[in-house]
Structure 1
């Protein structure tokens, strides 16, 4: 029986991608580099640190990665605070509360920084539902490397076959499968250009899931 649900954050719980897109491209303009939408799509699911490590190599940027990350984070924080219409994705709060009320453990495993995760969790009062938060900034490699999900499963205290992962990105699904954990692919209207075919099941709305259906998943 499934005892733990591991959530990604961006594109699954909240759509901060437009805010990230704005912040990144404002910084790209500041740096004078041309990051195409095709290249940007390949960066989805990576930690900010690993994004800038790749951009530093690709474009020969001279600034240190940490300085680049902080500058982008400043752009993001300013935009996040000003975006009044930012909300949780439709149906996800109902699912989170249902799982919590029915004794299913919730863990967050997101490539986002701890600062960004806390901004989201504080704004939408989500801390009470999750036993653990795992941030991609604590790992040398981003998704599709499975390390973040392996760690989340270890923190759950349950076997991998008692856990599932909800992901919306190509890299996230690959990481979930690389960790050997059942993956629900969520087709988000906000996650364009992502390929979820490797997921065990694909949903288009969170009303397709509830605690009873999740408990009945057989691996």
Structure 2
């Protein structure tokens, strides 16, 4: 979490409802049929795109649209002069102050013109928080094109994988996603399921997002020094590794890229993989996966289950409602993430693997299988002694097993869901 890029209208300033009222005033003067849906469709748009929308939806020629747009801007400017209250959204000063204190890069990327941005930043006294400001004057293509955010990241010299873009409009969220950064939605006028479906993270306010940042920053700093024995030269050395990994954090990128467990010996230079204990948590989806090679022994699984109440006290919050899984290796944990990202249930996926392997038409020698993994909603990946193969994920089989066994499975039961669990489940039935 190194860079934070904020939209302006509706995100840091409570201007969208103000702009909507101005639109209504203009519509009454000129007899336009203007509603809240029109306002949401115009949010985040550049001036030329707004004019094109007016031409198409209000059945007018371009000259009239340009004239009305100029009149709208004049009405806005006049109303701004009469305002006697702050437009800052709840939590704005708190989040900007925290990010500045933590030496984070902070940008502003707004579809508004430069003069209006400068006016509002000066009026609200927050201009000094931003390291760079991008306006519609600086770009050619407006949102949902990602040009404005790409330019902002370029000026901040930022990596998209560790950049959070905070928006309130559908066009803005789509642009944020297209840039490759983390798209954060702060709910404002548009609270539809559609806009939520495009966002990576959704919050009711900037304060809620700030609490999320603080929680993740604390978790992400929970690194631990491990004493490691090199399997090649037998040298013992220490290395700091993350033990608490959260979605959208830098350590998660290492996990996703299969580099988290990659260790290089400082003596001989050999690289090797280290299977160690760490936890992956996704607070939004309520997932917690704990990896520990010691879970191969059932007594250690039981010890973990009995320790969950202690975990609750340490975290200061209940883990009720979480799906909690144990894994014995990192590849299994990565598979769990993929399964739940695709809104599947790992119990059913493990049962699928058994059914597939027991099928007489299955052409792979089961004794040669070293790994059988869910790759995505379309494919399984099978690793054998002689190579790796892909096979189709059979959606009809998944649905059939879900219908047959779904009511018998407690998805919220804390367990190590693997092939042993699947065989035991089938035997019990």
Task: Give the Cα–Cα distance (whole angstroms) in 1 for the partners of residues 27 and 146 of structure 2.
Answer: 28
2:38 aligned with 1:60, yes or no?
A: no
Q: 1:113 to 1:65 in 2, by over 3 A?
A: farther
Task: Give the Cα–Cα distance (whole angstroms) in 2 for the partners of residues 53 and 28 of structure 1.
Answer: 17
Deviation readout 1:128-148 (Å, 9 max, x if unpaired): 110111112433432111111
Q: Decide whether the 8 Å contact of 2:108 with 2:134 is kept in 1.
A: yes
Greater percentage in strand:
2
Task: Give the Cα–Cα distance (whole angstroms) in 1 for the partners of residues 23 and 158 of structure 2.
Answer: 37
Provide the aligned length of Structure 1 versus Structure 2: 217
2:7 aligned with 1:8, yes or no?
A: yes
- Partner of 2:63, secondary structure, is coil
Q: Which moved more, 1:135-144 or 1:162-171?
A: 135-144
2:43 aligned with 1:44, yes or no?
A: yes
Structure 1 ranges of 4+ moved more than 6 A: none
Task: Give the Cα–Cα distance (whole angstroms) in 1 for the partners of residues 24 and 94 of structure 2.
Answer: 33
Q: Which moved more, 1:101-110 or 1:22-31?
A: 22-31
Q: Say what the alpha-carbon RMSD is for the aligned residues.
A: 2.2
Give the TM-score normalised by the residue count of structure 2. Answer: 0.47
Deviation readout 1:49-103 (Å, 9 max, x if unpaired): 3212221243223526654433211100111121213421111111001101110
Task: Give the Cα–Cα distance (whole angstroms) in 2 for the partners of residues 202 and 110 of structure 1.
Answer: 20
- Correspondence list, 1:179-218, <5 A: 179-188=179-188, 190-193=189-192, 195-208=195-208, 209=210, 212-213=214-215, 215=217, 216=220, 217-218=248-249
Task: Give the Cα–Cα distance (whole angstroms) in 2 for the partners of residues 15 and 191 of structure 1.
Answer: 13
Q: Decide whether the 8 Å contact of 2:5 with 2:108 is kept in 1.
A: yes
Shift of 1:175: 0.7
Q: Which moved more, 1:209-218 or 1:171-180?
A: 209-218
Aligned to 1:120: 120
Q: Decide whether the 8 Å contact of 2:182 with 2:200 is kept in 1.
A: yes
Q: 1:94 to 1:56 in 2, by over 3 A?
A: same
Task: Give the Cα–Cα distance (whole angstroms) in 2 for the partners of residues 5 and 187 of structure 1.
Answer: 17
Task: Give the Cα–Cα distance (whole angstroms) in 2 for the partners of residues 182 and 213 of structure 1.
Answer: 17
Deviation readout 1:99-153 (Å, 9 max, x if unpaired): 0111001100111121221121001111111011111243343211111111111
- Correspondence list, 1:142-161, <5 A: 142-161=142-161
Q: Decide whether the 8 Å contact of 1:50 with 1:141 is kept in 2.
A: no
Aligned to 2:401: none
Q: Which moved more, 1:205-214 or 1:44-53?
A: 205-214
Can you give the 5+ residue segments of structure 2 that lack an aligned partner in the other structure?
221-247, 254-429
Deviation readout 1:193-217 (Å, 9 max, x if unpaired): 5722221111123233255446544
Give the TM-score normalised by the residue count of structure 1. Answer: 0.88
Aligned to 1:133: 133
Can you give the 5+ residue segments of structure 1 that lack an aligned partner in the other structure?
none
Task: Give the Cα–Cα distance (whole angstroms) in 1 for the partners of residues 140 and 56 of structure 2.
Answer: 16
Task: Give the Cα–Cα distance (whole angstroms) in 2 for the partners of residues 62 and 181 of structure 1.
Answer: 35
Aligned to 1:175: 175
Shift of 1:166: 0.8
Q: Decide whether the 8 Å contact of 1:6 with 1:165 is kept in 2.
A: yes
Aligned to 1:17: 16
Shift of 1:192: 4.8
Task: Give the Cα–Cα distance (whole angstroms) in 1 for the partners of residues 152 and 196 of structure 2.
Answer: 21
Shift of 1:5: 0.3
